[in-house]
Amino acid sequence: MDVKIDILTLFPEMFDVFNYSIIGRALNNNILDINTVNIRDFTKDKHKKVDDYPYGGGAGMIMAVQPIVDCIREVKTKNSGNVIYLGPRGRTFNQSIAKKLSREKELIFLCGHYEGIDERVYKYIDMEISIGDFVVTGGEMACIPIIDSICRMVPNVLSSTESYTEESFYNGLLEYPQYTRPECFQEDSVPKILLSGHHENIRKWKRAKSLIMTRDKRPDLFEKISLSKEDQKLIELYKEK
């Protein structure tokens, strides 16, 4: 097993999505081991409650400290990875974080729900990640795309490294335009350079289009790129092609 991931959640069934497509194949091939652990199984409340009203008043319910901490402690006996909480205080998730986490052999994800978690749980959390400045129903909604993004970069999950190294964001750029058959559709043709078989010219075209698309569509990303002399020439060469 290359990577072991435990997900602490109140809704394990939400992660059935990982049984399909690329991640499902990696699970079947024992490249990944993704487990869900139901936090509710660790509550000492006879009614299986895992939440309660907040001290000091306020809207909604708060996930209680006891079942979460006991759940973390139990999982830690089998998984030594960092505990990652999906919450609003964390760093906004991006490809750089995904790369870093994809190198870990063990990870534990904690999914909050309701209005959040008891503050005392933070003592047991190593890292907090957010997917952006908006509200979702629970941490499960954030956890799914994060785990998917991480697992795609684990060796042998995809058919070749090219499958992700040229994708948008991997190197800080949007991906270049791509085409497949037919060569011409309603008088709209595939760029001739892609049909030329000239690998170096195709490489330059792809690089130029990736730079230009990032500049035009995501200037915030483009500002972070250190352009080489070749990059500058390629942008000028292909700006209207």
Residues annotated in a binding site: 112, 131-136
pLDDT single digits (tens) 192-229: 999 999 999 999 999 999 999 999 999 999 999 999 99
pLDDT single digits (tens) 24-51: 999 999 999 999 999 999 999 989 999 9
Q: Where are the domains of the chain?
A: 3-151, 166-238
pLDDT single digits (tens) 142-169: 999 999 999 999 999 997 654 665 655 6
Query: How many CB atoms are located within 10 Å of the residue 116 CB?
Result: 18
Give the alpha-carbon dihedral of 38, 34, 25, 128, to 10 degrees. Answer: 100
Residues annotated in a binding site for S-adenosyl-L-methionine: 112, 131-136
Q: Would the pTM count as exceeding 0.75?
A: yes
User: What percentage of the chain has pLDDT greater than the value 90?
Assistant: 86
**What amino acid is encoded at 241 in this protein?**
K
**CA nearest 82: which of 67, 91, 92, 72?**
72
Token pair belonging to 104: 């870990």
Q: What pLDDT is recorded for position 161?
A: 54
CATH superfamily of the 166-238 domain: tRNA(m1g37)methyltransferase, domain 2 (1.10.1270.20)
Residue 115's pLDDT band (cuts 50, 70, 90): confident
CATH class of residue range 3-151? alpha beta
